[in-house]
Amino acid sequence: MVKLIVFLNSELRRTLQSLCELSMSTTRNLDDIYYSILEKASTLQNTINSLQELSLLTKQLHLDLDGRADELKEVWQEQINSFGGFNAQKERIDGLDSRVKTSREKADKLSSRLQAAQERIRVLEVREGEWQATVNRK
């Protein structure tokens, strides 16, 4: 009977030791996953902040270009009027005006690309949230 108690006691200790090791291993794995998620979330947040800054800078550039284009157009119109509407100057102004319009179109395209990138980021955030929920459930 004593041998049985000693055997059960040693078996219980081994089982307890095994359970402790499994618990520590699981805790380490969960910690690693948690810090990995935090790192990825931080990287994603930095990317979003950079894209927002880029968006603001692009909008400001677009506004500046529009303002400068309007100023130039007024100056050119005054010069044309002062020269009596010479055709050579008018053609040069029309060429510059078309370049300004092309620049505006490029700025609009960049804005739309930026909006598409922001949408992709939103989708990635949703996926990341779903992945985190899956990991948390596991």
pLDDT tens digit string along 99-115? Answer: 999 989 998 998 999 99
> Is the pLDDT assigned to residue 85 strictly greater than 60?
no
The predicted structure's pLDDT at residue 84: 65
User: pLDDT confidence of 133, banded at 50, 70, 90?
Assistant: confident
Q: What is the mean pLDDT of the chain?
A: 89
Q: Where are the domains of the chain?
A: 2-137
Q: Examine the pLDDT at 13 and tell me if it is beyond 90.
A: no
Q: Which long-range contacts (CB under 8 A, 24 or more apart) does 70-79 make?
A: 72/96, 72/100, 73/97, 73/100
Cβ proximity of 96 and 72 under 8 Å: yes
136 or 46, higher pLDDT: 46
Share of the chain above pLDDT 90, in %: 59
